[in-house]
Structure formats: structure tokens, C-alpha cells
Amino acid sequence: MTVGWFAGLVHPDSKQLTEALRAAVRDGSLAAGSRVPSTRSLAQELGIARGTVTRAYDQLVAEGFLVARQGAPTVVAELLATPAQPDAPEPAQPGVARWDFRSGRPDLSSFPRRDWLAASRRALRDVPTDDLDYGDPQGHPRLRVALAGYLARERAVATTPGNIIVCNGYTQALSLLSNALADQGESSVDFEDPSAPHLWDIPAGFGMSVHGIPVDGEGIDVSQLRSRAVVVTPAHQFPLGVSMSSARRAELARRAKDEDLLVIDDDYDGEFRFDRQPMGSLQGMGPDNVVYAGTASKTLAPALRLAWLALPSRLVGPVRELKRNSGLHAPLFEQLAMAELILSGAYDQHVRRSRATYRQRREHLGEALRGMRAKHRPHPAGISAGLHVTLQLDPEGPTELEVLDRARRRSVELQVLGPHWLSPGSHPPGVIVGYAAPSDHAFRPALQALVSVLER
């Protein structure tokens, strides 16, 4: 016999034989329409009982891999006999350089493992059995209660547990909001210019156009809004780092109310203000027209995929429905652990500790920049806050591309402003330094490496 598909089989039982045959049909070694050996000859060949082969064939006939006809040889089925698909290529993951200054990353090594473990243990111990069923797409009530309290206390958000929706990251939150806006017939969304490019694709995916609205030292230029919805980062503009002035906040809240606009307050790093108390959220000025969006990605870890929306009442129903349709609710134990963390005070403690660390890092970075020998020394822009600082490059000095090239050669990972502009044309050059990303022990050498990149 010449067939090679069973070459490695030694006295197989019927399950092993079935698997080998199934694999041979899938990968095309047994071609569609070809005869399989008779049960008698295959049993002889393999030194097994004929009934073992018969059971394997019967199984594969029942599954549709083989076709048996009365009085005719059994053949490989036509439709299923296509060769197996090659594996879909994995998207290339850029290797992270040795010194990591990517923006938007907290120090992952400071994740409060012990507190999270204790919170998870309590959650697992105390969760009522009924809560293990499908839950509320809006999120577990315990977390929503904890969040409503925390957000009122720390971010001056005016909301109730009933208006909160727990999401799988802000990315999903923006996706749900974009979907809701598209369903309501909105055709465009305004973003600050510059802003985070990976977020523009989200409303664009729902067929909406994205407009860039200029940002100056007071935040977004409200007089230039073009759409009925706008995404803003009032506490700490990403990436320029300015905080929206009180006059602009009032102007935006007023316009939103008068013209029934929807403002999305992306409070991605609002907890981290170093020079004064954090500003309250914009949402508190106009809860009927402003959506508050917060995330655990900067305070704890992006991998948690936990974020929250505090919605105007009219949006709760539609967004809840969309959340139901996109995977129901966020995973229960993460929600409950997060609730425990907040209610026990461990979350506030962790945020306070992180704030002190990042403040210090920002100061060290400032000192290092001031001590630079370079003729064209970059200047930090924006307020003292957040996990990143944008350094304005001297137009006479190295270009963004030159800085990126030097960074790559010194294994330093950072970003430049260029890709963050929505409007075409020339823009002031800058480098975005995420100083929270390195772990504590790596911060000093990482800073040295950064300075060597920026120093001519």
C-alpha cells in the first residue's frame, strides 16, 4: 500500500485512527474523491481488528469527511477535502526598545499586586452565587456604586450608579459612543488637533468623518467646532499637555447646552496633577451634555481593560444596548476586584503613591533637560501633570525624524508629535516622552539614554 498518512501509526485504536484520517483529509494528503482502503486491507496493514477501522470510518462518514455508498468503495468527501488554511499571520509586534518612554504607559512594575490579590480574594469569597450568572451589561452594581462615589469625590463628576457604564477600556467606550452617535445620524466628530491618532479610527469605523480643531494655550478653540460631538482632554491635553482654561470650559459647556452638542471628556490621566489639586472634570459643569470617560489603564494597568463612562441620562439606554451587543458586560471578577480596591481605600493610596513617583520623575527629567549641553535644548510644554511631557524641539535643531533615528540607535522608545496632527501642513516639532513607563530601577539610566538622544 502506498498511502503515507498512517505511516506513524502503531496499532492505533479507533480514536487515533479517526484523528489521523481526519487530519489527512484536512491537509489534503487524502485528496477529494480518492478511495480510502477497504476496512479489511487497512486492518491487515495496521495489524488491528477490522472493527476498529469500521468504527473510525463510520465516525468520519457521520462527520462528513468520508462518503460511503452501498456497493461502492468509501471515498474522501468533496467539500471537506480542502487543504487546511495556513495560519493567519500574527500582526508584527514592534519590539520594545531597552529604554521605554512610550506615552500613556504607567510604571507596570508598580502595579499593586498585593492589594489586587487581596481585593480579588475578597471578591471571590463574597460574591453571591447568583452573580455568577450573566450580569448587567452596564456593569456590576457594586463597582458602579464605588465609581460614582470615587468620581464625585476625586474628579467632581456629577453622576449616579445608574448613569455609569463599565467598559472594556476607553477604546471600547469611545467605540460605543461613536456607534450611538452614528445611530443618531451624526456624520462627524471633532477631535483636538493634535490628539491620539489611534482614537480617530474609532468613529471613522462607523462611517463618520473626523475633524481636527486647533488647540492653543487654553485648550481647544471652541469657536472653531464643526460637529455636534467633540472629544476633549480638558484636564491634560493629549499630547500638548495644556489644561483647558476656566473660560474655555465655561464656553464649551455653554455651547454644548445651547446647541445640544455632545462633549466627551476623556479624563485619561486626570488623577495626576503635580503642581496643585487636580482640576475637577468638565462633566461636572454640564452633565446633560458632557460624557465623562475614565480608565484604569493609567492608574493601574492597560491590561485590565477597565474603563467607565458617566453618561447623560438620555444616552444610558442606547449605550447600554450597544454594550450588551458587544460582549455583554466586562468580566465580573475584574469588576469586583476594582470595586473592592476603591471601597477599601487601596486605590486612592496607590494613586497617591504613583502621583508622588511621577512628580519626582518629572522633576528629574526637568533637571536633566536644564543640565543639557545642547545648543538647541528642547523645552517642556504644558502643565506639570500626567504620565508624559511633550518637549518642543528647536526648529533650528534636529528634526523629529533625526531624533527618532538617534533614539532607535540608542534603543530608546519615544514618540514624536508629527503623527498626532489631523490638519495637513507644517506644525511645530516635538517629542513626546512618557516618563512613567520605565520601572523605578530603570528610570535613571533611561533618563541618561534619553538625554544622550536629545543632546547633539
Q: Which residues bind ligand PLP (CB under 6 A)?
A: 104, 169-171, 196, 233, 238, 266, 268, 295, 297, 302, 307
Of the two residues 14 and 297, which places its CB atom closer to ligand PLP in the complex?
297
Please give the Cα distance from 454 to 456 (Å, whole number): 6
Of the two residues 302 and 418, which places its CB atom closer to ligand PLP in the complex?
302
Of the two residues 42 and 196, which places its CB atom closer to ligand PLP in the complex?
196
| Minimum distance of ligand PLP from residue 214's CB (angstroms) | 17
| Minimum distance of ligand PLP from residue 54's CB (angstroms) | 56
Angle made by CA atoms 243, 246, 247, in degrees to the nearest 5:
120
Who's near 275: CB < 8 A, 6+ residues apart?
383, 384, 385
Task: Write the DSSP symbol of residue 173.
Answer: H
Please give the Cα distance from 31 to 50 (Å, whole number): 23
- Which among 339, 297, 294, 332 is positioned nearest to 115, based on CA atoms? 339
- 35-39 long-range contacts (CB < 8 A, ≥24 apart) are 35/73, 35/74, 35/75, 36/66, 36/73, 36/74, 36/75, 36/76, 37/1, 37/3, 38/73
- Which among 403, 388, 399 is positioned nearest to 427, based on CA atoms? 399
Beta strand 99-100 with 412-413 is: parallel
Of the two residues 22 and 105, which places its CB atom closer to ligand PLP in the complex?
105
| Minimum distance of ligand PLP from residue 153's CB (angstroms) | 21
Lookup result for grid cell 533611561: 446
| Minimum distance of ligand PLP from residue 171's CB (angstroms) | 4
Of the two residues 39 and 195, which places its CB atom closer to ligand PLP in the complex?
195
Of the two residues 178 and 295, which places its CB atom closer to ligand PLP in the complex?
295
Of the two residues 232 and 315, which places its CB atom closer to ligand PLP in the complex?
232
User: What residue number has its CB nearest to ligand PLP?
Assistant: 169
| Minimum distance of ligand PLP from residue 174's CB (angstroms) | 8
| Minimum distance of ligand PLP from residue 102's CB (angstroms) | 9
| Minimum distance of ligand PLP from residue 302's CB (angstroms) | 5
- Other beta carbons within 10 angstroms of residue 2's beta carbon come to 3
Please give the Cα distance from 323 to 302 (Å, whole number): 20
